[in-house]
Structure 1
Amino acid sequence: MSTLPKIAVIIGSTRETRFADKPAAWLMKQAEARDDFTAELVDLRDYDLPLFNEAASNKWMPSSDPKAIAWQEKLAEFDGYIFVVAEYNHSITGALKNALDQAYNEWNRKPMGYLGYGGVGAARAVEHLRQIGVELAMVPVHGAVHIGGGDFMAVHPMGSDDPIETIEDHILPAANDMFDDMVWWGNATKAAR
């Protein structure tokens, strides 16, 4: 059994026309090149989560919905999470907020990182996500990847639709910084748990 931290890269949008697949694939490629953690892509589309409708958070009582329980079981496999974040109206997607609300214990005492994209690199959404993470007793890391402005339009289908590699020199240092943070905190919190 591996002692390396296992990190989920969670795609936080479920829209048919989402852009998330492109940066998520790039992030996974960078993660797989590392030898200090393992990564797995987790797509919210694969979980068909209902809107949160439990009697309480699973912090206080077990969930009853089988879909929520399956989601919690998947989350429990990981030592940390990197969220691929779209920005909708200055915040995260409703699908991602619902997915966060469907669990509590599984998120606790684990690091969270971010790859945000949009006009301002999803900076506002990432800040909201950090605040939500604190409430879920997660460890928001400092490092984050933001694909915004001209870089966003260079790689988005409504812009030039270039491969992410064309902006890699702008975002790879931030990704490596985030990965370093995730490894350090992943190892520290794993040992403490």
Structure 2
Amino acid sequence: MTRIGIIVGSTRPGRNAEVVARWVYEVAAQRTDAEFEIVDLLDYKLPVLDEATPAGFGNYSQPHTKAWAEKIGSLDGFIVVTGEYNRSLPGSLKNAIDYIYAEWNNKAVGFVSYGSAGGVRAVEHLRGIAGEMQLADVRSQVALSLFTDFENFTTFKPADLHRDTLVTTLDQVVAWSNALAPLRAS
């Protein structure tokens, strides 16, 4: 069965990413074409990158890196939930991506973002990063507004239309994850 990780891309106290990721999971869990799980960056306690060699060599020395690599390596695709911080992605998410390399390769990724402009600028940066990590990013994206999809910027109340976009994003991530399976197997 195809395994998709829903990455909670923020570690900030009071973050919105966790509740958005739970919403993604609730919608995804109704599907029968893949298994979904939430992967929370907070659970991996990754300090600012502390590996002596570049991730591309795969010589991970730190226990937290090895645990992170094992989790990401066990998955076939991803939905990344990210806020937009200062017109880009959260530093904690970029740090987590940079820790490892081969574990990302030949997998699909979709994005659910939020922010004052729907988080679209964070995702534009993530798309470039995804290409470097040999992740196939899907076209569909859920872009949530802090003004209309969150009450008082904190209580998540997504507009109904976002569910349909999320379903399309999930469809694409599952399809591309399956299509890339032969590359992961070789």
TM-score (norm 2): 0.93
The counterpart of 1:100, out of the listed 97, 102, 105, is: 97
For the residue of structure 2 that corresponds to 1:101, the secondary structure is helix
| 1:19 is the counterpart of 2:16 | yes
Q: Is contact 2:142–2:162 with CA below 8 Å preserved after alignment?
A: yes
Count, aligned residues = 184
- Equivalent in 175, 178, 184 of residue 184 of structure 1: 175
Unaligned runs of 5+ in 1: none
- Secondary structure of the structure 2 residue equivalent to 1:85: strand
Q: 1:85 aligns with which of 79, 82, 94?
A: 82
The one-letter amino acid of 1:186's match is S
Secondary structure, aligned partner of 2:147: helix
SS for the counterpart of 2:131 is: helix
Equivalence for 1:143:
140
- For residue 161 of structure 1, report the CA deviation from its aligned partner: 3.0
Q: Does 1:116 align with 2:113?
A: yes
Q: Could you tell me whether the CA contact under 8 Å between 1:82 and 1:114 is conserved in 2?
A: yes
| Structure 1 position 170, deviation (Å) | 1.7
Q: CA deviation at 1:172?
A: 1.2
Cα distance in 1 for partners of 2:11, 2:130 equals 20
In structure 2, the CA distance between the partners of 1:160 and 1:73, relative to structure 1 (3 Å rule), is closer
1:153 maps to 2:144: no
Closer, same or farther: CA 63–160 of 1 in aligned 2, 3 Å? closer
Change (3 A) 1:162 1:183: closer
Q: Report the Cα distance in structure 2 between the residues aligned to 1:160 and 1:45, rounded to whole angstroms.
A: 19
Aligned with 1:178: secondary structure?
Answer: helix
CA RMSD of aligned residues (A): 1.5
> 1:2-17 counterparts in 2 under 5 A?
4-17=1-14
- Give ranges in structure 2 of 5+ residues lacking alignment: none
Shift of 1:162: 5.6
Check conservation: 2:20, 2:156, Cα contact below 8 A: no
